[in-house]
Chain A
Amino acid sequence: MNQIVLIVVLPLLAAFLVPIVARMSETLGAALGPLVMGVCLWITGTVAIESAGNAFAINIGGFLPPLGITFFVDRLALLFAFLTALLVLLLWPFQGEHRPREHALTLILAAASGGLALSGDLFNIYVFYELVSVASFGLVATGNRSAAPAVRYLILSGFGSVLALVGIALVYTQTGTLNLAHLSQLAPTQLINPIGLAAFALILLGVGVKAELFPVNTWVPEVYATAPNRVSALLAGLVSKLAALVILRLLVLVFAQEQALLVMLLLGLLGVITGELAAWRAQDMNRMLAYSSIGQLGMVFVAFSIPGETGVFAGLAIALHHLVVKPALFLLAARWGGALSGLAGAARGSLSGALLFTLFALSLVGVPPLPGFWAKLLLVMGLAEQVGPLYHFALAGILIATVVEANYLFRIVATLFRRDNPASPAPEKHSGSDIATAGIFGAGLIAAVLLLIPLSQSLKTIAQQTSDADAYRAVVTLVPTPTAPNWRPAAISGDTP
């Protein structure tokens, strides 16, 4: 089962080969990336079948943690590794202008995303996170439309990295280790204190840049509005979820304290409210989708702030739902740029596109029996079970935001299907590949409705496994504590679990 490491190694290797191969043979260069991603998909699938849902850890090079590098593979990690490969494959930039460069960057993004899903220690997470940043800067800048949003993204992301690094440094000075399992052992004694909280807050804000966390998400609207739509789809659909996944892991394993949840709840709620409100007056579809994405990610954070398995379950459901819906919407928006009023009667040009948009909008709003409803219901039930006015306040905020969301989404649906001025030129048709890909996402959504019961059960199993910190610790074999590094600052001692 160690071949799972290949999903990080292979795309990385391919990323360096693509420019060379493309110089020799253009077709081979173009085919290499999708081929590698297909192999990754296959590897993840076989590992998932082999492991049969049991978590296992891989120590790279045989060095035991906390010294060695650990990959932790459980259902959640496999799920996200699989989705990474799938999404990258579906959103592959077949028609980009600078093909080898885009392909290489996309492959780096895929490798780093796989790494983020699998990493079992903070340092690797940081490295892969930076790698994701680099790849996404490059991809955003390929849009060529304007450099300003990319620079804005660069600055904010760099600042976030600094914050995250400071947070990680705080954790390290406090405990002397960065391995998540080890940290999880030490956390109850050494990190449940103001320093731990400060470290969490810094890491949250740092990683939150990619996860579109309020208030470090100000890059989102401009970048999504100007980047190529497939890149926006990848960032909104995949990268944001992986960043949220990192925060989830930290929250479950290391920083399981009330104040940490409180910070997440507040920032998540502010994200929901500001995102949906800003989307209400958005002037073009890409920006609207970007703001809506902020709102949805805010909901994910609110869900994760519910302690225990319920929160993980709800948060994963919303995140996965968004992961299916938002990329498809960005693909549909590719030809629906410009002012929203210019979309009047766009359904005449592309009926299937308009119908798909309606389907996704219905699911986003949460109309039963579409998956979005069940995800939202999980969140509502989870929030309702919590005592404390803040949770109920968050519930109210989310429900009000949903009304706003329904209003702006269906204003667009109505515009698309408008028939009153047949004289106006219909907007461009969608490219075949965009519609086909969006159609695949739509089919996935419908399939999820049909398979609702088994899906909800398996997601519940994933949530159970994820929220079980003891199981995580049990899987990772640590170096026996006596040989734990003794080069830690002397002031902080006593690392016995």
Chain B
Amino acid sequence: MTPLDYLLLLSLLTVAIALVAGHRSMGGVWLTFSYAAQLGGLLLMAGLAQPSDVITSSLGFDILGQTLTWRYDALSWYFALITISAGLLSTMYTAGDWGEKFRADGGNLWLLHVAIALNVLSMLILLGSGDLLTLFIGWELVSWASFLLMILAGGPSIQAALRYITYAMGGAMAILAGLALIYGHTDSFAYAAVANTLQSLSPAHLWAPLLLLTVGFGVKMALLPLHLWQASAYAHTPGPGAAFLGAISSRMGLYALIVVLIQLVGLVRVIELPVLFSFISARDVLAWVAAFTIIFPTFTALRQNDARMLLAWHGIGQGGYMLLGIVMGDALGSAGGLMHVFNHATYQAALFLSVAAVVYRTGTADLNRLGGLVVRMPLSFLAMLVGIIGLAGLPPMNGFVSKWLIYRSLMLEGEPLLFVAAVLGTLGTILSVYKLIHNMFLGQLRVEHENIREAPWSMTAPMLILSVVVFITGLMPGLVLHWIAGIQATVGLPVIDYSLGGLDSAQGSLDMLWVVGVLFAGFGIGAVLFYSGGLTHRVHQLDNYAGGHFLSADIRYHYSDNFYPGLMRLIGPLYRYSFAWLESAVQSGLGLLSLSTQGFYRRVAPSNYALVTAVLVLLWVML
């Protein structure tokens, strides 16, 4: 029995606990402890930093002439850490009052627990894949586990989940086709054999499997133009489930892409691989897909009026940053991309949990029906504040560090256009996260929310833990960069030269300890000036006036709808919804084809077909 066996067994045990005790009131607590045990098991495996450090599982068997194996290296470990932590915190959140209310509202709490446990287990299996076949098996398990999590709420989530599974199946079949093409060349799915064959393939032969695999894995990452499913599917998942999915689910696509693009094909090969009849390389294509994945979904997020949809759209855009950083292929960019996986998971989970807390208290996530909750729910506000600073990529939170690394890499690699695209995405992010926090927590309190209290501690605790992590890893990014360096060594990327406060190398230096220190010194001076004057005066939140007039609570002056009208006048016409149009066109085309095939089967005189075919075949034979 290796540590990996114990980890997988613990995860299996968690699923069993969820199955047996998921419907009990203490079930959530037991599950939280079992996720904590998984996390402990994972931490025992820490130290996977060198390429030679691999923990294999004794699970493995031969079937159909193929050997299936599972093993963990630094890359798997890093993603597994995020997965289990996301499972732990979202279950902790579910375990208390949130779960009780979910059940009271008619939700199936048992199924939610089971689904999250299954998601964690399937992701751990995927992350351990030791060959392309186990990668595909893990991939499918993850896809269907997410489907269960997405659909269990019923109602509008059903449509979203069905859309997801159609995209996911399309992606999976693209992957299978890619694997088949590779298998046709190698007769094996083992990583070593595949890597060898791919090295020797000519560019023309490499393109097809590479494209198929990228498209397939890109579906889960919601790369453009395969992104339409994600926002609604995540947003309609019950609160903690959405936090879990938003934190890690779509990153599985990134994991698989790293395995294929970097470990098997080799990034050098991707950089050299030319697009036929043009002067751009495969890497440029990927980088620009990533850039468009940053821009379009982020600006779509800007127009959302549901907090969960807004966050989910941002999740798509942030995935673009990760891919963009990784395909740059240098030490800084790939470190930034990999680090952003962790950072995004932490702040995105905090944001989703904070929104879920507001929904728990107010019953809505509609940005036009909220406002002024900062005094009523200060801890949720704090979590959201920390989260949006991280999401926008501003200091002192961790999102700043990873984005800084990516920007730096784009500049060093001589990609000014991509840099502009990335900054444009950040601009959209800042605008929309301000809309988020303003419409929910700032401004006028609605009368019906006057007696709202902060969410119970079982919900605030996970949010605050995440906020602390977001801040600490922003203050000391070296903690995460330590793992990143291990991954870079393992997968064969240049290794970043990091320090506790950031990085200190020839390519640039950043010391977050100083940055944060200066920042807080500034805040400190401001706070001293603000509070020492003795000029502040506390009033009730509904006691307002404007322009010399008292405003009673029934006068709505909280400006929430049609946010940024000036900006929208400028860029509004650019929203063409072309992808949605394309999707519906494919759907209609399929419907038309389907009807015509049904017409074929409904024909009255069926023997004609047989006759015609017989004659045709005979003719073919004669000729």
Contacts and interface: CB of A to CB of B under 8 A. Distances in A.
**Do chains A and B interact in one complex?**
yes
Interface of A: 152, 155-156, 159-160, 163, 194, 197-198, 201-202, 205, 209, 215-221, 259, 263, 267, 273-274, 277-278, 280-282, 291, 362, 365, 367-369, 373-374, 377-378, 380-381, 383-385, 392, 395-396, 399-400, 402-404, 406-407, 410-411, 414, 417-420, 452-453, 456
Given A384-B181, A407-B162, A194 B610 contact: no
Nearest to A280: B594
Nearest to A414: B158
A385 B63 contact: no
B613 A378 contact: no
B430 interface: no
A277 B594 contact: yes
B565 interface: no
A400 B598 CA distance: 18
Given A218-B606, A362-B144, A407-B169, A377 B597 contact: no
A278 B598 contact: yes
Contacts of A385: 183-184, 187
17 contacts: A156-B610, A201-B614, A202-B614, A205-B614, A216-B606, A218-B603, A220-B601, A278-B601, A281-B595, A281-B598, A374-B63, A374-B64, A383-B180, A399-B177, A406-B166, A407-B169, A456-B64
Contact of B63 (A282, A414, A452): A452
Most buried by A among B158, B181, B611, B612: B158
B51 interface: no
A298 to B, nearest CB: 12
Contact of B183 (A221, A381, A452): A381
Contacts of B590: 277, 280, 404
Nearest to A459: B64
Contacts of A273: 597
A414 B166 contact: no
B173 interface: yes
Given A277-B594, A362-B144, A418-B154, A384 B180 contact: yes
- Which are the 4 A-B pairs with shortest beta-carbon distances? A384-B180, A399-B173, A218-B606, A384-B184
B112 interface: no
Interface stretch (B392-400, B451-459, B615-623): B615-623
A453 B187 contact: no
Contacts of A367: 140-141, 144
Q: Is the interface of A mostly helix, strand, loop or mixed?
A: helix
A406 B143 CA distance: 13
B621 A201 contact: yes
Given A219-B606, A377-B64, A385-B184, A403 B158 contact: no
B530 interface: no
A221 B601 contact: yes
Q: Is the interface of B mostly helix, strand, loop or mixed?
A: helix
Contact of B173 (A368, A402, A420): A402
Interface of B: 61-64, 106, 133, 136-137, 140-141, 144, 147, 151, 154-155, 158, 161-162, 165-166, 169-170, 173-174, 176-177, 179-181, 183-184, 187, 590-591, 593-595, 597-598, 600-603, 606-607, 609-614, 617-618, 621-622
A285 to B, nearest CB: 15
A453 B61 contact: yes
A95 B482 CA distance: 70
Contacts of B133: 377
A354 B597 CA distance: 28
B613 A216 contact: yes
A163 B611 CA distance: 9
Nearest to A266: B617
Contacts of A281: 591, 594-595, 598
A368 B607 contact: no
B606 A152 contact: yes
Most buried by A among B61, B161, B600, B607: B607
Given A291-B601, A385-B184, A407 B140 contact: no
B177 A396 contact: yes
A237 B150 CA distance: 34
A384 B183 contact: yes
Contacts of A278: 594, 597-598, 600-601
Nearest to B613: A215
B610 A274 contact: no
Nearest to B139: A368
A392 B174 CA distance: 13
Nearest to A407: B166
Given A218-B606, A277-B590, A403 B173 contact: yes
Contacts of A160: 610
Given A218-B603, A406-B166, 20 more contacts: A156-B610, A201-B618, A205-B613, A218-B600, A218-B601, A277-B594, A278-B597, A278-B600, A367-B140, A368-B140, A384-B183, A392-B181, A399-B174, A403-B166, A407-B166, A410-B162, A410-B165, A419-B154, A453-B62, A456-B63
Nearest to A385: B184
Contact of A378 (B62, B64, B184, B597): B64
Nearest to B174: A399
Contacts of B602: 218, 221
Given A402-B173, A407-B162, A216 B61 contact: no
A220 B598 CA distance: 12
A381 B180 contact: yes
A263 B63 contact: no
Contacts of A403: 166, 169-170, 173
Contacts of A453: 61-63
B12 to A, nearest CB: 14
A407 B603 CA distance: 26
Contact of A418 (B106, B158, B180, B617): B158
Contacts of B609: 215-216, 218
A271 to B, nearest CB: 11
Most buried by B among A274, A278, A385, A418: A278
A361 B151 CA distance: 16
Contact of B610 (A215, A392, A404): A215
Contact of A373 (B106, B140, B166, B606): B140
A160 B611 CA distance: 9
A98 B205 CA distance: 63
A258 to B, nearest CB: 13
Nearest to B617: A201
Contacts of A201: 614, 617-618, 621
Contacts of A420: 154-155
B305 to A, nearest CB: 23
A259 B621 CA distance: 9
B621 A198 contact: yes
B173 A163 contact: no
A226 to B, nearest CB: 14
Contacts of B136: 368
A406 B151 CA distance: 15
B180 A395 contact: yes
Contact of B617 (A152, A205, A219): A205
A280 B587 CA distance: 11
